[in-house]
Amino acid sequence: MKTSPVTRRQFVKTSYTAAGAALLAPVVFPSADSQAASQSKPALLGGKPAVEGPFPEWPMIEPLDEEKFMDALRRKAWCRLYDNITTTFENAWAEKLGVKYCVATVNGTNSLYTALYALDVGPGDEVLIPPYTFVATLNAILQQYALPVFVDTDIQTFQMDPQSMAGKITENTRCVIPVHLGGIVADMDAILANAQKYQIAVIEDACQAHISEWKGRRVGGLGDIGCFSFQSTKILPCGEGGACVTQREDLYDKIHAFHNNGRDRLTGTRKGYLHQGSNLRMTEYQSALLLAQLTRLDAQCRHREENAKYLSELLKEIPGIRPAVQYPQQSKNGYYLYMMHYDKEPFEGLPRARFIEALNKEGVSCYGGYRPLNKEPFLKTLLDSRWYKKLFPPERLKQYWETNECPVNDRLCEEGLFMSHECLMGTRSQIEQIAVAIRRIKAHAKELQA
Ligand SMILES: Cc1ncc(COP(=O)(O)O)c(C=O)c1O
C-alpha cells in the first residue's frame, strides 16, 4: 500500500468538514483545466497519473484506537469470558442499528453460519441467495449441507431480483439471504413480503452494508437475523470479526449459545450443555478497537456518501460509465463500494480488463466485481459428492442444474466495476480527478487497445 504524505490523523481532522462544506458549492465540471487534463496522455501510455497523491489508507488508526486497544491488552483479560468489553461493543452496535440483540463473532462467514444454525437450517433444506456476492455467503450454506438456490440479479442495483424469487421457492426452502452488496440495500419490501407469503426466514447479509438504511431503518434488523463483517477492508474494521443481530430473544439465545461452545446464556453450564456449539467468540482487544472505530463511523459514512453523490453527478457526463442505482426506499448508504457498469462501446470497444488496468494506473483502485457464483466448479464437485446425493433425490439435483442459470447476472459479471471505498474517502479534488482519469481513458481508448 502507498503511504500518504498527509498523515491519516491530519486527513481525518481536516477533510470531513472541508469536503462537507465544499460539496455545498455548485458542480462546475469539467473546468478548462480538467478538460485539458482529460485529453492528456493516460498513465498507462506513459503520462502522469490523473489522481494527485494517494487516497487515504484503510484501516485508519487514531490515538483513540491505540488507547482502547492498549488498555484492553494491559487488562490481560483478552477473552470475553473474563471481561466485558465485547458485551459493551455488542450493546453499542445493537443500539446503533436500533435492534435489541447483538452477538459479536470471529468473522462474517461464521456469523452467517451461526444464523443458519439458529434458524434451524440444515441438511436437505434449500436456501435462496444471489449469485453476485462474496463466496462466503455460499460457503455458509454449504457448511450446513443445505442446497444454495440462486435467484437472478437486478442489473440496475446489483442486488437480488425479488421478481425472480418466488419461482425458486420449493417446499424445502427455509430461508432467503439477501446480500446488501456494496452498501446498496436489496429490495427489502418485496423480499420480506415474499418471505412472509411463503413462510421462509430472512437472513440479511449486511457484511458490506454497515449503517445503510431502508426507509430510515438500519439494515440487519429488517429480517430475522442480520450478519456483519468487521474484516480489515470493511467500513467498521478490527482485522477479523463479525456479528449477528436480531430482534428475537429466542434467536439471540441460540446464537449466543452456539458462539460460546453451547453454553446457555442464562444458566452457563450449571445444567450441563443445553445446546450444540462452536467457539466463535470475539477477543476483547478487537472489541476495544471496534468501540474506537465506531466513534468515527458516522462522519466517515457522511463523507463517502457526499463524495459518491458528487462522483455520480460527474459521471453522468461520461457515456459508457453508469453508477449502480439505489432503490428509492434506501435512505442511507455506508458505501463499502462504489459500483458501476462499464459499456465498452462508447470506449471504442476497449475491453473492461484494459479499462481497469488503465484506471488503476491513473491512481484509482478499481476491479471487475464478482464472477457468477452459480458457476463455480467447486459447487458442482460438492453437489456431485456422496453426501449431497444422500441428502437430495437425483431428480431434484437434475432439476437444480437445469434451472441454475442466471442470465442477467452473467451480463452483470461482464460489465460490473467496483471502486473501493478508500477512493470515496478522498478529497473533492480527487473525486474530480477520478472523472478526469475516466475521460482521459475514453479520449485515448483507441491507443489503449494495443
Ligand atoms: C457479502 C459478504 N458476506 C460475507 C462475508 C464474509 O465476511 P468475513 O470475511 O468477515 O468472514 C463478506 C466478506 O467480505 C462479504 O463481503
Taking residues 241-259, report their average pLDDT. 98
- Give me the pLDDT at residue 53, please: 86
- Give me the pLDDT at residue 194, please: 98
Neighbours of 324 (CB within 10 A): 24
31 and 134: one domain? no
Taking residues 392-400, report their average pLDDT. 97
Ligand 1 atom closest to residue 234's alpha carbon, by position in its atom list: 14
Does residue 8 register a pLDDT over 90?
no
- pLDDT category of residue 2 using cuts at 50, 70 and 90: very low
Q: Distance from the CA of 108 to the center of ligand 1, in angstroms?
A: 5
- The pLDDT tens digits for 148-179 are 999 999 999 999 999 999 999 999 999 999 99
Q: Distance from the CA of 51 to the center of ligand 1, in angstroms?
A: 29
User: What DSSP string describes 336-354?
Assistant: SEEEEEE-SGGGTT--HHH
Among 266, 291, 316, residue at a domain's last position? 291
Ligand 1 atom closest to residue 240's alpha carbon, by position in its atom list: 10
51 and 70: one domain? no
- Give me the pLDDT at residue 7, please: 41
381 occurs within a structural domain: no
Mutation test of ligand 1: which of 105, 106, 109 has the most ligand atoms closer than 8 Å to its C-beta?
109
155 and 192: one domain? yes
Q: Whose CA is nearest to atom 8 of ligand 1?
A: 108
Structural domain span for residue 214: 63-291
What number of residues does the chain have?
Answer: 450
- The pLDDT tens digits for 202-214 are 999 999 999 999 9
Q: Distance from the CA of 209 to the center of ligand 1, in angstroms?
A: 11
119 and 202: one domain? yes
Q: Distance from the CA of 302 to the center of ligand 1, in angstroms?
A: 23
Among 259, 291, 323, residue at a domain's last position? 291
Q: Distance from the CA of 136 to the center of ligand 1, in angstroms?
A: 6
Ligand 1 atom closest to residue 231's alpha carbon, by position in its atom list: 10
Rounded to the nearest angstrom, the gap between the alpha carbon of residue 6 and the centroid of all alpha carbons in its chain is: 28
- Give me the pLDDT at residue 35, please: 80
390 occurs within a structural domain: no
Q: Distance from the CA of 293 to the center of ligand 1, in angstroms?
A: 19
Mutation test of ligand 1: which of 134, 139, 230, 235 has the most ligand atoms closer than 8 Å to its C-beta?
134
Mutation test of ligand 1: which of 139, 143, 231 has the most ligand atoms closer than 8 Å to its C-beta?
231
- CA 419, 423, 425, 430 dihedral sign is negative
Give yes or no for a contact between 449 and 47, defined as CB atoms under 8 angstroms apart. Answer: no
271 occurs within a structural domain: yes
- pLDDT category of residue 357 using cuts at 50, 70 and 90: very high
CA–CA dist 89, 67 (Å, integer): 16
- The pLDDT tens digits for 87-132 are 999 999 999 999 999 999 999 999 999 999 999 999 999 999 999 9
Q: Distance from the CA of 204 to the center of ligand 1, in angstroms?
A: 12
Does residue 402 register a pLDDT over 90?
yes
Give yes or no for a contact between 445 and 188, defined as CB atoms under 8 angstroms apart. Answer: no
Alpha helices in 152-248 (DSSP H): 188-198
363: amino acid identity, one letter: G
274 and 199: one domain? yes
Does residue 12 register a pLDDT over 70?
no
- The pLDDT tens digits for 255-314 are 999 999 999 999 999 999 999 999 999 999 999 999 999 999 999 999 999 999 999 999
Please state, in angstroms and as integers, the Cα–Cα distance from residue 233 to each residue in 102, 242, 308, following that order: 21, 13, 18
User: What DSSP string describes 349-414?
Assistant: T--HHHHHHHHHHTT--EE-----GGG-HHHHHHHTSHHHHHHS-HHHHHHHHHT---HHHHHHHH
Ligand 1 atom closest to residue 140's alpha carbon, by position in its atom list: 4
Cα 205-373-349 angle, rounded to 5 deg: 115
- CA 236, 238, 242, 244 dihedral sign is negative
CA–CA dist 233, 336 (Å, integer): 9
Number of domains in the chain: 2
Give yes or no for a contact between 254 and 275, defined as CB atoms under 8 angstroms apart. Answer: yes
Computed over every residue of the chain, the mean pLDDT equals 94
Query: How many CA atoms lie less than 13 Å away from 56 in the CB half-sphere?
Result: 26
Taking residues 314-336, report their average pLDDT. 97
312 and 340: one domain? yes
- The pLDDT tens digits for 15-40 are 444 444 444 455 566 677 778 878 89
Looking up residue 17, the CATH number of its domain turns out to be 3.90.1150.10
Taking residues 244-249, report their average pLDDT. 98
Mutation test of ligand 1: which of 127, 185, 203, 229 has the most ligand atoms closer than 8 Å to its C-beta?
229
225 and 122: one domain? yes
396 occurs within a structural domain: no
- The pLDDT tens digits for 179-228 are 999 999 999 999 999 999 999 999 999 999 999 999 999 999 999 999 99
Taking residues 328-345, report their average pLDDT. 98
Ligand 1 atom closest to residue 109's alpha carbon, by position in its atom list: 11
- CA 122, 395, 132, 380 dihedral sign is positive
Ligand 1 pocket, CB under 6 A? 107-109, 133-134, 136-137, 179, 205, 207-208, 229, 231, 242
Q: Distance from the CA of 396 to the center of ligand 1, in angstroms?
A: 29
CA–CA dist 321, 24 (Å, integer): 24
148 and 241: one domain? yes
CA–CA dist 103, 80 (Å, integer): 12
Q: Whose CA is nearest to atom 7 of ligand 1?
A: 108
323 and 197: one domain? no
Q: Distance from the CA of 109 to the center of ligand 1, in angstroms?
A: 6
Residue 375, C-alpha cell as written in the block = 458457476
Q: Distance from the CA of 26 to the center of ligand 1, in angstroms?
A: 38
408 occurs within a structural domain: no
432 and 321: one domain? yes
CA–CA dist 90, 413 (Å, integer): 36
Q: Distance from the CA of 20 to the center of ligand 1, in angstroms?
A: 30
357 occurs within a structural domain: yes
Does residue 343 register a pLDDT over 60?
yes
346 and 434: one domain? yes
395 occurs within a structural domain: no
Ligand 1 atom closest to residue 242's alpha carbon, by position in its atom list: 10
Q: Distance from the CA of 25 to the center of ligand 1, in angstroms?
A: 37
Looking up residue 95, the CATH number of its domain turns out to be 3.40.640.10
3 occurs within a structural domain: no
From 197, 159, 158, 149, select the one nearest 339 (Cα to Cα): 158
Cis peptide before 30 (omega within 30 of 0): yes
Q: Distance from the CA of 450 to the center of ligand 1, in angstroms?
A: 37
Mutation test of ligand 1: which of 114, 207, 232, 367 has the most ligand atoms closer than 8 Å to its C-beta?
207
300 and 281: one domain? no
